[in-house]
Amino acid sequence: MPRLLTLLGISLLTFALTNIIPADPARTLAGPKADRATVERIRREMDLDAPLPLRYVRYLGRLARGDLGRSYLTRQSVLGAILERLPATALLAVASLVVALAGGAAAGLCAAVRAGGVAEAGVLAASTLLLSLPVFWLGLMLLYVFGFRLRWLPLGGFSSPVDVILPALALGLGTGAYYARVLHANLVAALQSDYVRTARAKGLAPWRVYGKHALRNAMLPFVTLAALDLAGLLGGVALTETVFNWPGLGRLAVEAVFNQDVPMIMGVVLFGAVLVVALNALVDLGYRWLDPRIGG
């Protein structure tokens, strides 16, 4: 029930924000030279002449039937447009999360194991630098160096799996830097805990101390971050997808905003919200697997 109320609140807030902006979708579709009668006819066809509360109730009724509405601009089903763009966004989301998880876990583990040394200082400095770089700027630099200057990789678009490398790096490097810092902090704390000291006193091999005891507990916040980031990535990353001309949900949302396509904006936002809620539920299950005491 709380999750359902969350989705209801998001739908209400998004509906209100997209309908109080000082713009007229009917006028946009009709064009600047259209007469008043044409604009009014389009407004009636789009159900824009009804009071806002009534339009919201009708919208909820359609949602209950699984109908996200139709695009004002193309008259395409909103759900159909989302499903059409979803594979490209899913590929980018998974690829960037793999980069972030692999790089962040390796760097965080290295920094924690070598705490107080050059490796720890280097990882923390590099992660701070990566976190300070805007993702869209990093994406442009990657395009310039590897796409334009070296010509190793394509300059955007999506026609083959290799096209995902640069946008995945642009998204994954900064996220991986944050993961490295989180894992480093949690792992350092775990290595100083009583149960790790006990494991060492029993003479367990280092890989069992780090892997089974310390790392498993340090991974708890990691699971939450990864799940929420995956939900955000699957919901579309507007700036990155625009920079790389990636045909995903982020670009779909940007196009909908520029075209004042309210049903499409609402659909993409609600889709992202559903993903966040669903993956939060999966995080709860993951916590219980990593630490059975949570489920008790």
- Per-residue pLDDT of the chain (296 residues), as tens digits, is 677 788 888 888 888 877 777 667 777 777 777 788 888 888 887 777 778 888 888 888 888 888 888 888 788 899 999 999 999 989 999 999 999 988 988 888 888 777 778 888 888 899 999 988 888 899 999 999 998 898 898 888 888 889 999 999 999 998 899 988 888 887 777 666 665 666 565 666 665 666 555 666 666 677 777 777 887 787 668 888 888 989 988 889 888 888 878 888 888 888 888 888 887 777 767 666 655 555 54
Residue 200 burial (C-beta neighbours within 10 Å; 0-12, 13-18, 19+) = middle
CA angle 216, 219, 220 (to 5 degrees): 105
Quick check: 99 and 168 in contact, CB under 8 A?
yes
Q: How far from 177 is each of 108, 207, 221, 231, CA to CA, in Å? A: 9, 24, 15, 19
The pair phi, psi for residue 261, each rounded to 5°, is -90, 85
What structural domains and CATH numbers belong to the chain?
Answer: 2-64 (no CATH), 82-294 (1.10.3720.10)
Q: Which residues contact 146 (CB under 8 A, 6 or more apart)?
A: 152, 153, 166
Residue type, 109: L
pTM of model > 0.85: no
Quick check: 276 and 228 in contact, CB under 8 A?
yes
